[in-house]
Amino acid sequence: MRKIEIKEGPKLEDYQAYSSLRGTVDSFLENVPKYVDRLRGRTIWMINSTATGGGVAEMVPSQMRIMRAMGVSIEWMVIETDEVAFFNITKRIHNAIHGSGDGHYTEADREPYESVNRKNLEGALEVIQDGDVVVIHDPQPMPLARMIKEHRKVSCVWRCHIGLDESNETTRGVWGFLKLYFDDYDHFVFSLKEYVLPEIAGRTSLIPPAIDPLSHKNRTLQMHKCLSILVQAGLIDSREPRLYNAYKHQVRRVMPDGSFGQVNRPDDFQLIYRPVITEISRWDRLKGFKELMEAFVYMKETNARRTDTDALDYKRIRMSRLVLGGPDPLFVTDDPEGAQVLKELIAYYQTLDPEIQQDVALMLLPLDNPKENALIVNALQRYSVIVVQNSIQEGFGLTATEAMWKQTPVLVSGAAGLKFQVAHGETGSINEDPTDIPRLAAAMEYMLSHQKELDKWGFNAQTRVVERFTLFSQIESWLELLSSV
Ligand code: UDP
């Protein structure tokens, strides 16, 4: 078990200084002290499986910072292991909750699952005291609640960030396996009501995820700053004088021969001169990267058959480029499936026509420096003409929220978490079936050809995020819940 220290960050008054956030912060400051009073003398322990990458690691530090500023004692720990059997079973569980893969689990699967958690128990017991509240995130550390409760009088909450809005054999199988742990929890938190299981509905709260508008991932970047980050990260080639040094690790790009090279060698990717469509996610089959690449190729091929080659729409599509961004495997050692998915994407990329290969970039984003990684994602989301989140399944999809906050028009699939955020034709576009390649291609083509409409969607999207998905409403719900368990 490893305790994670968080860095200093924006203060409450920094958020209040933004007029669009002031109302939310003011009502937060009015409502929250009564919950904080009830929590006095108790520490809240957040426990998950990783301190970097993915939605949970993204949200916890900002939540902690604000809660601490309000006087709450809150800490963060991650479970540690290098056992491949544990990664395999927990990844299977993760996929199965999304309805994907096989739903057959045996007691033998419990062995690596529970033994890794038991090895982390000692570290937890060194710090957790009677009376504390333990919040366990996602399935990986789920068995820990019972183990902790055998030694400490604590309340436990299970926060599940994933889910599927229907049940099938796979989901029934996995929930059958996880059911054993339900009684160890006093309360449950899910992102959407569609994900809640009937047997725990009476003990469940709904708290959608949220973004921190002032984090490095989301803070405003003036145009020159945005460009400067893209230059520092190696995404734009520039011989102009620079204010800042290049990042130690640059973004890398998959080459036609499958190797990893520089983004602008041998040819310049021309990021700043092209309409760029972007999806940034972990290398996960459920993120729909391959289907997006296929649809992009389909759109280009359809466009190539047009005869009105003087039309601006024709030229815009011809010039467009696709960026698929995800973690550089150099910095990720604990995601064997992610490495496999990236390999599959590279294999598909290698089958493409050389001309299309120039228009598609599989980009590997460095993770050695979380601030730099966040700024690169921020700049790319801001710079893109469309941010796509083509997930086959998506618990929520912070990547969409992040783009919406930045007024970048989004194109999302009909996965439940994404549909919860986006209203079609109002705050973005929904292409229901992420595997329907012609329709996905048509949705991109429509967006590239209706710039004015997109401006409206982007504007509305930011308002939606301010109203529903910033961290203050989320923390208020958490404090209300935690002070009552
Ligand atoms: N992310 C990142 N760098 C990457 C890929 C993803 O910072 O190379 C971030 C992304 O910006 C978002 C989070 O990881 O904040 C992913 O959260 P989301 O809810 O979209 O999906 P999850 O990974 O939790 O399934």
CA-209 nearest atom, ligand 1: 19
- pLDDT band for position 380 (cuts 50, 70, 90): very high
How far is the C-alpha of 246 from the C-alpha of 248, rounded, in Å? 6
Cβ of 399 closer than 6 Å to ligand 1, yes or no, is: yes
Residue closest to 247 by CA, chosen among 267, 232, 237, 231: 232
Q: Is the C-alpha dihedral spanning 412, 415, 419, 421 positive or negative?
A: negative
Query: Can you name the residues that pair with 431 across neighbouring β-strands?
Result: 413
Report the half-sphere exposure of 426 (CA within 13 A, side-chain side).
8
**CA trace torsion 52, 56, 61, 63 (10° rounding):** 170
237-241, 419-423, 456-460: the lowest-pLDDT one: 237-241
Cβ of 236 closer than 6 Å to ligand 1, yes or no, is: no
- pLDDT band for position 466 (cuts 50, 70, 90): very high
CA-53 nearest atom, ligand 1: 14
pLDDT at residue 66, as a whole number: 97
Q: What are phi and psi of 385, to 5 degrees?
A: -80, -30
Cβ of 431 closer than 6 Å to ligand 1, yes or no, is: no
One-letter amino acid at 262 equals Q
Distance (Å) of CA 270 to CA 85, 243, 244, 316:
43, 21, 21, 14
User: Length of the chain, please?
Assistant: 485
Average pLDDT over residues 356-375: 96
Average pLDDT over residues 34-52: 96
- pLDDT band for position 55 (cuts 50, 70, 90): confident
CA-282 nearest atom, ligand 1: 5
pLDDT at residue 182, as a whole number: 98
How far is the C-alpha of 182 from the C-alpha of 419, rounded, in Å? 28
Cα-to-centroid distance, 54 and ligand 1 (Å): 4
Cβ of 377 closer than 6 Å to ligand 1, yes or no, is: yes
Cα-to-centroid distance, 175 and ligand 1 (Å): 25
- pLDDT band for position 242 (cuts 50, 70, 90): confident
Tokens linked to 127 = 């710090």
Cα-to-centroid distance, 212 and ligand 1 (Å): 13
Average pLDDT over residues 356-371: 96
Cβ of 160 closer than 6 Å to ligand 1, yes or no, is: no
For the cut 90, the answer to whether the pLDDT of residue 146 exceeds it is: yes
Cβ atoms of 70 and 471 within 8 Å: the answer is no
pLDDT digits (tens, 9 = 90+) for 129-145: 999 999 999 999 999 99
For the cut 80, the answer to whether the pLDDT of residue 332 exceeds it is: yes
Cβ of 391 closer than 6 Å to ligand 1, yes or no, is: no
pLDDT at residue 333, as a whole number: 75
Residue closest to 263 by CA, chosen among 233, 229, 225: 233
pLDDT digits (tens, 9 = 90+) for 392-401: 999 999 999 9
For the cut 90, the answer to whether the pLDDT of residue 54 exceeds it is: no
Query: Can you name the residues that pair with 279 across neighbouring β-strands?
Result: 324
Q: Helix H segments across 240-393?
A: 289-304, 312-319, 336-350, 354-359, 370-383
| Sheet strands (E) in 16-84 | 43-48, 73-78
Cβ of 55 closer than 6 Å to ligand 1, yes or no, is: yes
Q: What is the share, in percent, of the chain residues with pLDDT greater than 70?
A: 100
Q: What is the share, in percent, of the chain residues with pLDDT greater than 90?
A: 95
Cβ of 281 closer than 6 Å to ligand 1, yes or no, is: yes
Which residue in this structure is represented by tokens 């080459």?
A: 255
Cβ of 163 closer than 6 Å to ligand 1, yes or no, is: no
CA-401 nearest atom, ligand 1: 20
Task: Report the phi/psi class of residue 131: left, alpha or beta, with left for phi > 0 and alpha for psi in -120 to 50.
Answer: left
Cβ of 396 closer than 6 Å to ligand 1, yes or no, is: yes
pTM, rounded to two decimals: 0.95
For the cut 90, the answer to whether the pLDDT of residue 125 exceeds it is: yes
Cβ atoms of 394 and 416 within 8 Å: the answer is yes
Structural domains of the chain, ranges and CATH numbers in brackets: 2-210+470-484 (3.40.50.2000), 223-468 (3.40.50.2000)
Cβ of 417 closer than 6 Å to ligand 1, yes or no, is: no
Name which residue sits closest to atom 14 of ligand 1, judged by CA: 54
- Element containing residue 204 per DSSP (H, E): strand 204-206
Cα-to-centroid distance, 209 and ligand 1 (Å): 12
- pLDDT band for position 239 (cuts 50, 70, 90): confident
83-87, 128-132, 429-433: the lowest-pLDDT one: 83-87
pLDDT at residue 127, as a whole number: 98
Cα-to-centroid distance, 336 and ligand 1 (Å): 17
pLDDT digits (tens, 9 = 90+) for 273-309: 999 999 999 999 999 999 999 999 999 999 999 999 9
How far is the C-alpha of 57 from the C-alpha of 444, rounded, in Å? 31
For the cut 90, the answer to whether the pLDDT of residue 124 exceeds it is: yes
pLDDT at residue 312, as a whole number: 96
pLDDT digits (tens, 9 = 90+) for 309-328: 999 999 999 999 999 999 99
How far is the C-alpha of 27 from the C-alpha of 34, rounded, in Å? 13
Task: Report the phi/psi class of residue 177: left, alpha or beta, with left for phi > 0 and alpha for psi in -120 to 50.
Answer: alpha
Cα-to-centroid distance, 15 and ligand 1 (Å): 23
pLDDT digits (tens, 9 = 90+) for 162-186: 999 999 999 999 999 999 999 999 9
Which residue in this structure is represented by tokens 């990021």?
A: 271
